[in-house]
Amino acid sequence: MRRLAITIIFLLLLPLAGRSQISIRIFARTRPATIIFTAGQGGFLLRDGAAADLRLIPGEVVIITRYDKRVIYRTLSGTFGAADSLTFSPASADALFRVRAPGNPEPEKLLNGMLRVKPFPGSLLVLNYTTVEECLPGVVRAEAGKFGPSHYFRAQAVVARTYIYRNMERHALDGYNLCDDIHCQVYPGVVTDTVIVNACRLTAGKVLTDRDSLLIEAAFHGNCGGETASSADVWLAGYPYLVSVKDPWCSYSASSTWRKSISRAEWNSFLVSKGITPGTEGSMYSGRSPGQPPEGGRIANRIVQGKTITSEEIRLRFDLRSSYIAMAPAADSIIISGRGYGHGVGLCQDGAKHMAEKKTSYDRIIGFYYPGTIITDIKNARRPPRP
C-alpha cells in the first residue's frame, strides 16, 4: 500500500517538460473521408508500410481516401497504393505541408511536423504530431484575435500553454492528446503573424500554477463588463485564483453593454420550468427602468419562493451575451440588459488588451486576473490529478 502511494506521488510529480511533443486530431469536427496533402518547403517522406519510402518534393500532391479498413492514396505524379496507415515525415526541420478536405467547410490548414492518416469508422483519423511551442501561435491567434500589443499576446500565450499542458490527457483513450475543435482547443494551423509568434517565443515554456505547483484552470472570456465572475458562481467549482475582481479596463469596448428582449410567454415558461408561479417573481427585477444596464456588481443568484435561479442559468437558457444582467418587465416582454461578453471567469480579453496598450506587462496582467498564481517554467509544474 505504502509503495503504491509512493508510486502515485512519484507519477504526479513527474515533470511535464518531456511532454512537449503533442498529437492533435485535425478536422475533428467534420471528420472527412478524403483529404488532400500538399508537400511544402523542405519535402516529405511518405511511408505506407512497404519497404521503401516515397520521396515527395515540394508541390507534390497526395489524395488519401478511406477504403473499408484501409487507406488508399494516389499522387499526382502517378504513384498509388493502399496501407493500414500512412505517415508523412518532414525531410527537414522547417518542412511545412498543407492539408484540406474537398467539400469540407473547414479551410485548408498549413501544418508542420509529421502527419499520420489512419482509417476511422466512416472517415479518416488525421493526426498531426508537432510540439506545444510550434502549435501555440496558431492557438493564440484563434483565441485572442489577430491584432493587439505584444504583452496582450504574451499573457494569452501563457494562458493557452497552461491550458494545453493541463488537458494533455483529454483524448488519451482515443490515442492522441487534443482535437482541433472547440471541444479542446481550436487549432487553425501554423500562423506567421510576427507579434504573436514573438509573444510565444518570449514566453517559451512559461505556464501558470497555483501555490502547489499545479497547472491552473486558465479560464478566459471576451469582456467581463467591469467585474469578473467567480468560478464558484458560474461553474459551482471554486478556485482561489478564479475569484471576482473589479475591472476598470474593459468598459471602452462596444461589447461592454447590451440588451435583449424576451417575450413574456417565453419568460413565464422558464419560470414554470423552475417551479415558480409567474407573477411572483417581482424580486428578480432590478427596479430600474427597462434597458438600463446593471449597476453595483454581479448578482450570482436570485431567490424566488425559496427557489434559487442563477444568472448563469438565465444566460444559457436565453442565449445571452453574459450573466452580468439586470431584468425589468415591459409591456408584454422582459428586457434583459447586461454588461460584458462570455462567462466572465478569469482573464478578460478586452481588459487585458487595454492594460497592455497602457504599457502594463504580461505578468502584471496575469496577476490582476488570476490573483495568487505563479508564472513558472513547465518543468516546475504538475498536472492536477483527475477528479
Q: Is 344 in the site for Zn ion (CB under 5 A)?
A: no
Of the pair 54, 366, the CB lying nearest Zn ion is at 366
Residue 44 three-state SS: strand
Q: Is 348 in the site for Zn ion (CB under 5 A)?
A: yes
Cβ of 122: how many Cβ atoms within 10 Å? 8
Nearer Cβ to Zn ion, position 73 or 152?
152
Residue 8: CB partners within 8 Å, gap ≥ 6?
none
CA distance 160 to 179: 14
Q: Go through the chain and tell me how many residues it has.
A: 387
Q: Confirm or reject binding of residue 358 to Zn ion (CB under 5 A).
A: no
Contact stretch for Zn ion (CB under 5 A) within 14-22, 102-110, 247-255, 266-274: 247-255
Report the residue from 113, 119, 137, 351 that binds Zn ion according to the rule CB under 5 A. 351
What is the size of the binding site for Zn ion (CB under 5 A)? Answer: 8
227 is an interface residue for Zn ion by CB under 5 A: no
Contacts of residue 377, Cβ cutoff 8 Å, sequence gap at least 6:
17, 205, 206, 207
The residues, ordered by sequence, that sit 6+ positions from 326 with a Cβ below 8 Å of its Cβ are: 286, 288, 292, 293, 294, 295, 336, 337, 338
Instruction: Report, in angstroms and rounded to the nearest whole number, the Rg of the chain calculated over CA atoms.
Output: 25
Q: Which of residues 158-187 bind Zn ion (CB under 5 A)?
A: 179, 183-184
Q: Is 229 in the site for Zn ion (CB under 5 A)?
A: no
The minimum distance between CB 218 and Zn ion, in angstroms, equals 16
Nearer to Zn ion, 168 or 328 (CB): 168
Which residue stretch of 142-150, 212-220, 223-231, 270-278 sits at the interface with Zn ion (rule: CB under 5 A)?
Answer: 223-231
Decide if residue 26 touches Zn ion (CB under 5 A): no
Given its phi and psi angles, is residue 296 left (phi above 0), alpha (psi -120 to 50 degrees) or beta?
A: left
Which residues are near Zn ion by CB under 5 A?
Answer: 179, 183-184, 224, 247, 250, 348, 351
